Amino acid sequence: MSDHERAAAARMRSGAERIADLFSVAREEGRAVFLPFLTAGLPNPASSTRLFAAMAEAGADGFEVGIPYSDPLMDGPVICRGSEQAISEGATLDRSLSILGEVAETTGLPSLAMTYANPVFRRGADRFCDRLAEAGAAGLIVADLPFDEAGPLGDAARRHGLGLVLFLALTSGYNRIRAVAEAEPSFIYAVANLGVTGERSEWSSRVERLVEGIREVTDIPVVLGVGISTPEQAAIAAGLADGFIVGTALVRRVLESSDEEDAARSLAGLVGEMAFAARR
């Protein structure tokens, strides 16, 4: 199959299926899936897609595209600042979803929306999912939506062929692990640290126990996120789980860049090292 044919075939598959493919291919190759996070609209809506393209070239497997939100409860100061900047640069909900669509189209990689519950329910779960599917998104992650409240959105996502991701945390007990597994998310976002997103120097030994606890219950892919900011930490995460997410370290690089060119270069550098680490 040519690249073009492969891309055409991929488009025939639903978002949820493309996420599943990502993990099955990585499992066959004996490596972890690396999903960089970046806020849509950084450094501004016009040049955002280009930064994702640079990360794709540097070895990203897929993306979490952050939909900037005014009150991001799960995010630390860096991603909060990124959200504020994106909003002030004009990243409305529609513009952000368009950027997500451009990212999916340009890179051909499975791209998931990372958002909060209010923008989703404000628009309506079904309409939101419809718009995501139309844009070419593979799925969505809602930071303040535990499985207990995820039922209606899960149904809407399924109707539109999108994968819904659910969370588990270091504080989640057996009952919650069971319940999340039964809801059959596309993957489980295992929150690797207490607290909000941000860089950490320490890696909690409890992460290992959480991943083991999940594995005893289900073989749904487990992706680690929150606090992974260095290639060393990425390598540990890749050894433990099916994938990992890096956000704050990337957003920081964009915020600290002098211009778009510099940001793209800086992101590609870190993503390249992280992708190498994902090869275990």
Catalogue the active-site residues.
Answer: 64, 75
Q: Which of residues 149-168 bind other proteins (CB under 8 A)?
A: 149, 167-168
Exposed/middle/buried for 183, CB within 10 Å: 0-12, 13-18, 19+?
Answer: middle
Q: What is residue 227's three-state secondary structure?
A: coil
Residues contacting other proteins: total by CB under 8 A? 38
**Range list of H helices, 59-173:** 77-88, 93-107, 117-123, 125-135, 151-159
Of 148, 219, 259, 261, which one interacts with other proteins (CB under 8 A)? 148
Distance CA(132)–CA(172), nearest Å, equals 29
Q: Which of residues 199-238 bind other proteins (CB under 8 A)?
A: none
**Cβ proximity of 90 and 140 under 8 Å:** no
What does the per-residue mask of binding to other proteins show for 72-91, with x meaning CB under 8 A? -xx-xx--x------x----
Of 6, 46, 90, 122, which one interacts with other proteins (CB under 8 A)? 122
Q: Which stretch binds other proteins (CB under 8 A): 100-108, 193-201, 249-257, 271-279?
A: 193-201
Task: Name the minimum Å distance from CB 164 to other proteins.
Answer: 14
Q: Residue 60's closest CA among 105, 113, 22?
A: 22
Q: What is residue 83's three-state secondary structure?
A: helix
182 binds other proteins (CB under 8 A): no
Nearer to other proteins, 93 or 271 (CB): 93
Count CA within 13 A, CB hemisphere, residue 195.
10
What does the binding site for other proteins look like in residue numbers (CB under 8 A)? Answer: 69-71, 73-74, 76-77, 80, 87, 92-94, 116-123, 143-146, 148-149, 167-173, 176, 191, 194-196
